[in-house]
Amino acid sequence: MNTAININVEPEVVLAARNIAKSYGNTHALKGVNFDIYRGSVTTLFGENGAGKSTLMKILSGVISPTSGKIILDGQPINFASPSESRDLGISIIHQELSLAPNLSVRDNIFMGREIMTATGVNFSEEERQTRELMKELEEDIDPLTPVEDLRLGQQQIVEIARALSVNARILIMDEPTSALSASEVEVLFKIIRDLTSRGVSIVYISHHLEEALQITDHAVVLRDGTMTAYAERQDIDLEWIVRHMVGEGFDLGSPPAGYDFGKTSLSIKSLCIPDQSGNDFNVVDELSLDVREGEVVCLYGLMGSGRTELMECIAGRLKPSCGTIVLHEHDISKLTIAQRIDAGLVLVPEDRQRDGLVQTMSVGKNLSLASISAFTSKLLTSTKAEQSLIDRMIKDVTVKTASDTAEIGSLSGGNQQKVVIGKMLATNPKVILLDEPSRGIDIGAKAEVFKLLAERARAGLSVIYSTSEVGECLSIAHRIIVLSKGRIAGEFNSSASKEAIMAASGESVAH
Amino acid sequence: MSVSSPTMTIQPMEKHRTKLNFARILLEGRAFFALVAIIISFSLLSPNYFTVNNFLIMSSHVAIFGLLAIGMLMVILNGGIDLSVGSTLGLCGVFAGFLMQGVESETLGVIFYPPVWAVVLLTCALGAFIGTINGVLIACFRVPAFVATLGTLYVARGVALLMTNGLTYNKLAGATELGNTGFDWLGFNRLGGIPIGVIILLTVAIITGLVLSRSAFGRWLYASGGNARAADLSGVPTMKVQISVYIISGICAAIAGLVLSSQLTSAGPTAGTTYELTAIAAVVIGGAALTGGRGTVKGTLLGAFVIGYLSDGLVIIGVSAYWQTVFTGAVIVLAVLLNSLQYGGRNKRT
């Protein structure tokens, strides 16, 4: 399944990864990855969310250390103790999540941790001059003394790039550098990348914008579920090749449950607007209407910032809409609290299970029963017996692999943790379940189990709405695929649609 | 979880822990073993320590801290902190004293002498009121708990000083002809040989223990303290829970104020100064995590007894009060160190 890899490192290879593995407890983020970065070329890493791209980049830049495996720089095995050590060796990284201090100025951010010192303190004027030069090079009109928090996201991204450039790195890692950039800014960035490679700098590039990445890359590495699945040079590949290796073949996530008719409309959303949560004057979800019927499985596909998370959180009651109604079985639930919506039969499985899904201090069993406490509470006290039978039933229903129900939730693998979060919500006997990226960060086997579970429930009349940013998952169990882009429905497909058509509708492959 | 009185056997291990080794037992039952060690050491050092009467006297001292600590436990389980309990104790004591002196109504020209049960209820209501202010500031207005309760610490203390003009109410016994006798019953009387204060502490502890382990509210509290966002999305009324814990803490402080002023038969405006720190120390020694979500009433009670028996023991063997402070501090640091050993290895998943 993969191209032969040289164990001996060629002289043209600046940086090589050999058998890099990284585990977090029972979660294996990387399972032995090999690849080479050539001098003066762009190597792009392709992969879905959770494939291990960001973990790999963090290892290469010394932010985290691998569980096993070697990093070879210029033919010498190296161990980074810290990001500053890797920076001293000429490796610089632009993080996916901006790592700027918003309260500091552009100049201070660019020179953070390596201030230009003189005998009397920091040489601010020299720092400012260099910052100005960098900004000129990047064709961006940003004053070096502006606080970063006053810049819009795209400009902050430029500052992040400028910081990485300012250290004169030999290897520059860019993790989704264009996600917040406008088309013209992307052009400038690509010009700079070409300029850098002609000077011998090696670039490692990660992007979800596949076509965009194809424009700039020289080599392509595809990761899936922590292993490298393909490696090729630019002239040998096309978009279809990348998607095929990213999504994988031969593993079926299931097909839409069939052989029954949908029931009545269970959830009806009418012209829903959700204002931007950071106070900007636009709607992240704009006049969106959607009807879902009993037994129907609907997939919401969209990129980061398409509004799918906000849409789900609003339906579940965490965010307040600025207009529109949400009707569940002919009852308007727009004004209800989260608890009342759960009682009414509408539940959400949140995107980030560590932050929003699990109570880490509680056992597996208590996490499972958390949303249905009222079901086993009579008068004042809870019934231990009723709770135990509910927990046992849910562990069986959602097939959680755990030593016992009193085990700590942190001892479970990512996939089983996710099943606990889903089981917790299913225990309330919902009529509609919303799942925000239910497959995020879990391995392919667990993914299939989660989807099978949802398909079974749908057959019994549950309305399932799940979101994903992995196109392969849209086509697995969904009866209907809704593509979201900039808070609006950009397309509607059935399960026989092609991946390319869905991606095109979301704006993913049309970067310009 | 079962609530046990400190004189009963404590099970430091839970049934499901299969891989129990000696170190683990020592670590999990550390507050219990510390208490045993304290009792043995002082019994060897002083013949007066290991007597029933001394234990009862020490326990009635512990009752004050114990009541504050149980309220504090509820707040800490929620991931908060309540610095105002010492001042609330002082203000409630003064308020009770004020009511016992009689409330003069100028328009009617008479002085009301509320009966003791009414004094107790009104004082608890005052404690609940102070707790409500804390809770609303923290839950509704998003004031950090540390700052909000630091503010009420000052305000409550100031009000207590204003009410008494810095003096102390002394005549708390009441008079038969006024129908308000019996206030000293709380602090002085014994039921079956056990001081009333200790019985109140154990009653509050058992009720709280039941609430924490067997009621929906208890589950909500552990969940919202462990992860408020997840609890919220699971339908837990996190804001109500947050306000409630500060109200409970205020009521516990009011009860402690009543017991203390009854024990002293006087109510001074400076009573309870720095007691909030002792209460926090008891909760921490009892194994609760300051980040919320972990802790038990049993542990907190043990923590309160560790502090109380240690400082009284040092008095009995004649160690200087300055050394007592040093010892108490060392015990607290040791307890926190062990807490981070117990919880440090967990939840490192990213």
Quick: pLDDT tens for B99-144: 988 888 778 778 888 888 999 999 999 999 999 999 999 999 999 9
For residue B325, what are the CA distances in angstroms to A25, B58, B111, B285, B328?
A: 43, 17, 45, 16, 5
Structure confidence at residue B14 (pLDDT): 42
Residue A511 lies in a domain: yes
Residues of B whose CB is below 8 A from A358: 227, 230
> Span A491-505, mean pLDDT?
83
Structure confidence at residue A9 (pLDDT): 56
Same domain, A78 and A92: yes
pLDDT at A378 over 90: no
Searching chain B, which residue's CA lies closest to the CA of residue A428?
B234
Question: What domain count does chain A have?
Answer: 3
Structure confidence at residue B24 (pLDDT): 74
Q: How far is B222 from chain A (nearest CA, A)?
A: 8
Q: Quote the DSSP letter at residue A506.
A: H
d(CA A325, CA A273): 9
Q: How far is A503 from chain B (nearest CA, A)?
A: 30
pLDDT at A411 over 70: yes
Searching chain A, which residue's CA lies closest to the CA of residue B293?
A361
Tell me the per-residue pLDDT of A318-357, one tens digit each, with 9 for 90 and over: 999 999 999 999 999 999 999 999 999 999 999 888 889 9
Residue A61 lies in a domain: yes
- A148: domain CATH number is 3.40.50.300
Q: B210 — contact with chain A (CB < 8 Å)?
A: yes
Tell me the per-residue pLDDT of B279-320, one tens digit each, with 9 for 90 and over: 999 999 998 988 999 999 999 999 999 999 999 999 999 988
Q: Do B346 and A410 touch (CB under 8 A)?
A: yes
pLDDT at A3 over 50: no
Q: Sorting pLDDT into bands at 50, 70 and 90, what band is B234?
A: very high
Q: B222 — contact with chain A (CB < 8 Å)?
A: yes
Residue A224 lies in a domain: yes
pLDDT at A1 over 50: no
Same domain, A156 and A17: yes
Q: Sorting pLDDT into bands at 50, 70 and 90, what band is A27?
A: low
| 3-state helix vs strand vs coil in chain A, percent to 5 | 35, 25, 40
Residue A254 lies in a domain: no
Out of B16, B234, B347, name the one closest to residue A424 (CB). Answer: B234
CA atoms within 13 A on the CB side of A385: 1
Residues of B whose CB is below 8 A from A404: 16
Same domain, A45 and A118: yes
Q: Do A338 and B235 touch (CB under 8 A)?
A: yes
Q: Do B346 and A342 touch (CB under 8 A)?
A: no
Return the percentage of chain A with pLDDT > 70, whole number. 93
d(CA A58, CA B169): 67
Q: Do A361 and B230 touch (CB under 8 A)?
A: no
Structure confidence at residue B10 (pLDDT): 37
Same domain, A425 and A438: no
Domain ranges of chain B: 53-338
Tell me the per-residue pLDDT of B190-231, one tens digit each, with 9 for 90 and over: 888 889 999 999 999 999 999 999 999 999 999 999 999 999
Structure confidence at residue A92 (pLDDT): 86
Domain B53-338 in this protein, CATH class = mainly alpha
Same domain, A374 and A439: no
ipTM for this prediction: 0.83
**The 3-state secondary structure of chain B, one letter per residue:** CCCCCCCCCCCCCCCCCCCCCHHHHHHHCHHHHHHHHHHHHHHHHCCCCCCHHHHHHHHHHHHHHHHHHHHHHHHHHCCCCCCCHHHHHHHHHHHHHHHHCCEEECCCCEEECCCHHHHHHHHHHHHHHHHHHHHHHHHCCCCCHHHHHHHHHHHHHHHHHHHHCCCCECCCCCCHHHCCCCCCHHHHCEECCEEHHHHHHHHHHHHHHHHHHHEHHHHHHHHHHHCHHHHHHCCCCHHHHHHHHHHHHHHHHHHHHHHHHHHHCCECCCCCCCHHHHHHHHHHHCCCCCCCCCCCHHHHHHHHHHHHHHHHHHHHCCCCHHHHHHHHHHHHHHHHHHHHHHHHCCCCCC
Residue A6 lies in a domain: no
Tell me the per-residue pLDDT of B54-83, one tens digit each, with 9 for 90 and over: 999 999 999 999 999 999 999 999 999 999
Q: How far is B306 from chain A (nearest CA, A)?
A: 26
Rounded CA Rg of chain B: 21
Q: Do B214 and A382 touch (CB under 8 A)?
A: yes
Residue A463 lies in a domain: yes
pLDDT at B6 over 80: no
Structure confidence at residue A249 (pLDDT): 60
Structure confidence at residue B304 (pLDDT): 95
> Span A410-430, mean pLDDT?
90
Interface of B with A in 265-304 (CB under 8 A): 289, 292-294
Q: How far is A317 from chain B (nearest CA, A)?
A: 9
Searching chain B, which residue's CA lies closest to the CA of residue A319?
B233
Residues of B whose CB is below 8 A from A441: none
pLDDT at A14 over 90: no
Q: How far is B339 from chain A (nearest CA, A)?
A: 14
Structure confidence at residue A496 (pLDDT): 84
- Apex CA B156: angle with CA B155 and CA B158, to 5°? 65
The domain boundary, picked from A429, A452, A470, lies at A429
Whole-model pTM? 0.79
Q: Would you state the structure tokens that stand for residue A369, as one six-digit string?
A: 């029963």
SS3 state of residue A414: helix
SS3 state of residue A393: helix
| Torsion angle (degrees, nearest 10) of CA A270, A271, A277, A282 | 180
Q: Sorting pLDDT into bands at 50, 70 and 90, what band is A74?
A: confident
Same domain, A79 and A223: yes
pLDDT at A31 over 60: yes
Structure confidence at residue A105 (pLDDT): 93
Q: How far is A283 from chain B (nearest CA, A)?
A: 23
Structure confidence at residue A11 (pLDDT): 64
d(CA A75, CA A41): 18
Q: Check if the beta carbon of residue A359 is closer than 8 Å to that of residue B212.
A: no
Same domain, A326 and A383: no
User: Terminus-to-terminus CA distance in chain A, angstroms?
Assistant: 33
Tell me the per-residue pLDDT of A199-219, one tens digit each, with 9 for 90 and over: 888 999 987 777 788 888 999
Out of A343, A350, A404, name the one closest to residue B233 (CB). Answer: A350
Structure confidence at residue B130 (pLDDT): 97
The domain boundary, picked from A408, A429, A450, lies at A429
Q: Sorting pLDDT into bands at 50, 70 and 90, what band is A257?
A: confident
pLDDT at A304 over 60: yes
Same domain, A41 and A98: yes
Q: Report which of residues B310 and B184 the model is more confident about.
A: B310
Number of Cβ atoms within 10 Å of the Cβ of A133: 13
Residues of A whose CB is below 8 A from B346: 360, 408, 410
Burial letters for A261-271: b for 16+ Cβ neighbours within 10 Å, e otherwise? Answer: ebeebbbbbbe
Same domain, A147 and A172: yes
Q: Sorting pLDDT into bands at 50, 70 and 90, what band is A176?
A: confident
Structure confidence at residue B2 (pLDDT): 41
Same domain, A336 and A373: no
Q: Report which of residues A122 and A500 the model is more confident about.
A: A122
Return the percentage of chain A with pLDDT > 90, whole number. 32
pLDDT at B233 over 80: yes
pLDDT at A164 over 50: yes
| Beta-carbon contacts below 8 Å between A and B | 95
Lowest-pLDDT choice from A127-136, A437-446, B48-57: A437-446
Residue A4 lies in a domain: no
Residue A278 lies in domain:
263-345+431-512
Same domain, A158 and A62: yes
Residue A71 lies in a domain: yes
Q: B232 — contact with chain A (CB < 8 Å)?
A: yes
Structure confidence at residue A54 (pLDDT): 77
d(CA B65, CA B201): 9
Which residues, including other chains, have CB under 8 Å from residue B229's CB and lie 6 or more apart? A355, A356
Tell me the per-residue pLDDT of A58-73, one tens digit each, with 9 for 90 and over: 888 888 888 888 888 8
Does the CA dihedral B32-B34-B40-B46 come out positive or negative?
A: negative
Same domain, A126 and A35: yes
The domain boundary, picked from A429, A456, A484, lies at A429
What amino acid occupies position A99? Answer: S
Q: Check if the beta carbon of residue A4 is closer than 8 Å to that of residue A20.
A: no
